[in-house]
């Protein structure tokens, strides 16, 4: 998986790096997952935190205090991420911002010769995903995407088992996410942004819009300008596993149905209930989410089921099992009872990234793998938003004969931010 070696960096940064050399990391977007990522980075020998950046001063100071408890030190604190990009002493940037703010910090960091750990989904549009991939390649940067399952042993084992033919001919991959938080917050009125929040910078390239707590920290996931609902949130993690089993191949056709069926009075733009069908020549992938519910399939609120002719392999973060198919009353393959998961995948993922920063190997979830999973999720949302059965040309990175769908590939950027070319 992580095999090819990148050439030396062509950029402004010093070439990396002796094992003994320290790696100076900055975190952009400190509230939730970003800080979790930073904490695991600091567990890897040789890594130190050089800066914290957030547009919300309350978050910035809370995380600075948390960091002081862990390391005994307070790094540089900044509200404008361009100060991180311009700081030549910083080697690595962790991007833990909402999805609409993944692309520019990643692109600028690559151009400035820094390596990047960026959260999933890679970006909030197909165009941005492509741009991030090409920029990382052009500047020969290491970009690890936060799909940490890629570093988990039980995920690696189950995908290998499926690919070995153990469940027979693979016919369908079903991925689903039923999550209580998908019911979203009750609708509240617009208000002014809290003191200390640079709301204009939080919006960044997204359209101007009044502040609303229901679209702010954590809640932005359910507004199109900043996220894509449960499909780009959990869907990216689980569809990534499906794509792994089909070697990253993109579907030919995409159909989706859904809507806001349950939470019409809540602040939600994305679908609370949605199914997507991705068509291939001889199998299909299905994504399904029901926000606000928790029960799901096979007794699991979320997961991936690989359905083969001889059996179904079901996996999620809590473990996995193989359920044999029957030939009359005889199993077609041997059952594998419930197996415990690898709960250390996140630290392994971060450690793999730091190793790759030193060795210049491609990481476990290189930007191209992140691009594939994010694009698959966006294809599903574009099918939902147009209501059309879409045909995807993966060479041209365009939908065939569908101007409405193609118009949703490239995001509009609000001035002064410019969409990277
Ligand atoms: N890998 C995983 O398992 C996992 C889990 C949760 C979230 N995530 C991903 O992590 C990302 C962050 O999610 P979250 O739930 O932590 O969101 P959040 O809203 O809780 O935190 C985002 C932070 O970014 C800050 N921010 C926004 N714009 C900024 C800018 N221009 N510069 C600096 N800071 C800025 C916000 O003020 C906020 O503090 C999302 O992309 C999400 O999909 C991944």
CA–CA distance, 348 with 351 (Å, rounded to integer): 5
CA–CA distance, 405 with 401 (Å, rounded to integer): 9
Output the residue whose Cα is nearest ligand 1's atom 4.
33
Q: How many angstroms does the Cα of residue 290 sit away from the middle of ligand 1?
A: 23
Q: Which of 165, 164, 150, 141 minimizes the C-alpha distance to 372?
A: 150
* Alpha-carbon distance values, 124 to 79, 224, 302, 329 (Å): 22, 9, 22, 48
For ligand 1, whether the C-beta of 56 sits within 6 Å is yes
127 within 8 A of 410, measured Cβ to Cβ: yes
221 within 8 A of 300, measured Cβ to Cβ: no
CA–CA distance, 384 with 279 (Å, rounded to integer): 15
Q: How many angstroms does the Cα of residue 14 sit away from the middle of ligand 1?
A: 29
CA–CA distance, 363 with 353 (Å, rounded to integer): 6
For ligand 1, whether the C-beta of 99 sits within 6 Å is yes
For ligand 1, whether the C-beta of 28 sits within 6 Å is yes
DSSP 3-state assignment of 19? coil
Q: How many angstroms does the Cα of residue 76 sit away from the middle of ligand 1?
A: 19
For ligand 1, whether the C-beta of 97 sits within 6 Å is yes
Strand partners, 145: 118
Q: How many angstroms does the Cα of residue 213 sit away from the middle of ligand 1?
A: 15
For ligand 1, whether the C-beta of 179 sits within 6 Å is no
**Confidence (pLDDT) at 21:** 85
pLDDT in tens, the chain (421 residues): 333 333 333 344 445 555 568 999 999 999 999 999 999 999 999 999 999 999 999 999 999 999 999 999 999 999 999 999 999 999 999 999 999 999 999 999 999 999 999 999 999 999 999 999 999 999 999 999 999 999 999 999 999 999 999 999 999 999 999 999 989 888 999 999 999 999 999 999 999 999 999 999 999 999 999 999 999 999 999 999 999 999 999 999 999 999 999 999 999 999 999 999 999 999 999 999 999 999 999 999 999 999 999 999 999 999 999 999 999 999 999 999 999 999 999 999 999 999 999 999 999 999 999 999 999 999 999 999 999 999 999 999 999 999 999 999 999 999 999 999 8
Q: Which of 11, 240, 216 minimizes the C-alpha distance to 116?
A: 11
For ligand 1, whether the C-beta of 119 sits within 6 Å is yes
Strand partners, 275: 257, 288
Q: Which of 276, 288, 275, 188 minimizes the C-alpha distance to 234?
A: 288
183 within 8 A of 291, measured Cβ to Cβ: yes
For ligand 1, whether the C-beta of 291 sits within 6 Å is no
CA–CA distance, 311 with 405 (Å, rounded to integer): 37
Q: Are strands 115-118 and 92-95 parallel, antiparallel or unpaired?
A: parallel
For ligand 1, whether the C-beta of 96 sits within 6 Å is yes
Q: Are strands 115-118 and 143-145 parallel, antiparallel or unpaired?
A: parallel
Atom of ligand 1 nearest to the CA of 201: 31
Strand partners, 106: none
Q: Which of 231, 229, 226 minimizes the C-alpha distance to 211?
A: 226
187 within 8 A of 267, measured Cβ to Cβ: yes
Q: Which of 59, 60, 96 to mutate to test the pocket of ligand 1 (most atoms within 8 A of CB)?
A: 96
DSSP 3-state assignment of 231? helix
389 within 8 A of 396, measured Cβ to Cβ: no
Q: How many angstroms does the Cα of residue 356 sit away from the middle of ligand 1?
A: 24
User: CA dihedral defined by 384, 386, 388, 391, rounded to 10 degrees?
Assistant: -90
Q: Which of 258, 274, 232 minimizes the C-alpha distance to 376?
A: 232
Token pair belonging to 258: 């859904």
Residue for token digits 């833990």? Answer: 96
Q: How many angstroms does the Cα of residue 366 sit away from the middle of ligand 1?
A: 20
């Amino acid at each position: 998986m992580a095999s090819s070696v990148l050439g030396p960096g062509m950029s402004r940064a010093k070439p990396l790096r002796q094992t003994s050399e320290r790696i100076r990391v900055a975190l952009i977007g400190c509230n939730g997952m970003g800080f979790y990522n930073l904490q695991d980075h600091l567990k890897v020998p040789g890594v130190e935190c050089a800066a914290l950046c957030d547009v919300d001063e309350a978050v910035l100071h809370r995380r600075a205090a948390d960091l002081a408890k862990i390391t005994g030190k307070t790094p540089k604190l900044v509200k404008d991420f361009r100060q991180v990009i311009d700081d030549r002493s910083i080697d690595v940037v962790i991007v833990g911002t909402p999805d609409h703010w993944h692309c520019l910090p990643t692109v600028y960091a690559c151009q400035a010769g820094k390596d990047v750990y960026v959260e999933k989904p890679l970006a909030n549009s197909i165009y941005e995903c492509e741009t991030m991939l090409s920029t990382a390649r052009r500047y020969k940067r290491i970009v690890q995407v936060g799909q940490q399952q890629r570093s988990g042993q039980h995920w690696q084992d189950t995908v290998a088992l499926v690919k070995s033919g153990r469940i027979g001919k693979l016919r369908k991959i079903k991925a689903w996410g039923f999550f209580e938080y998908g019911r979203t917050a009750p609708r509240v009125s617009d208000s002014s942004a809290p003191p200390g929040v640079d709301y204009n910078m939080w919006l960044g390239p997204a359209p101007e819009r009044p502040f609303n707590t229901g679209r702010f920290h954590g809640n932005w996931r359910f507004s199109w300008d900043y996220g894509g609902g449960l499909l780009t949130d959990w869907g990216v993690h689980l569809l990534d596993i499906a794509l792994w089993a089909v070697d990253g191949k993109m579907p030919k056709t995409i159909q989706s149905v859904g809507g806001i069926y349950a939470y019409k009075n809540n602040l939600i733009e994305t679908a609370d209930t949605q199914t997507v069908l991705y068509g291939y020549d001889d199998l299909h992938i299905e994504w399904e989410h029901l926000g606000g519910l928790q029960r799901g399939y096979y007794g699991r609120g979320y997961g991936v089921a690989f359905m083969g002719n001889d059996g179904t392999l079901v996996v999620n973060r809590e473990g996995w099992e193989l359920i044999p198919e029957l030939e009359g009353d005889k199993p077609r393959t041997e059952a594998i009872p419930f197996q415990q998961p690898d709960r250390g995948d996140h630290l392994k993922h971060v450690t793999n990234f730091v190793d790759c920063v030193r060795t210049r190997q491609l990481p476990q979830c290189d930007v191209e793998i992140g691009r594939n999973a994010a694009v698959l999720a966006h294809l599903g949302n574009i099918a939902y938003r147009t209501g059309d059965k879409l045909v995807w040309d993966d060479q041209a990175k365009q939908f065939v004969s569908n101007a409405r769908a193609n118009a949703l590939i490239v995001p509009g950027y609000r001035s002064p931010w410019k969409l990277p070319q």
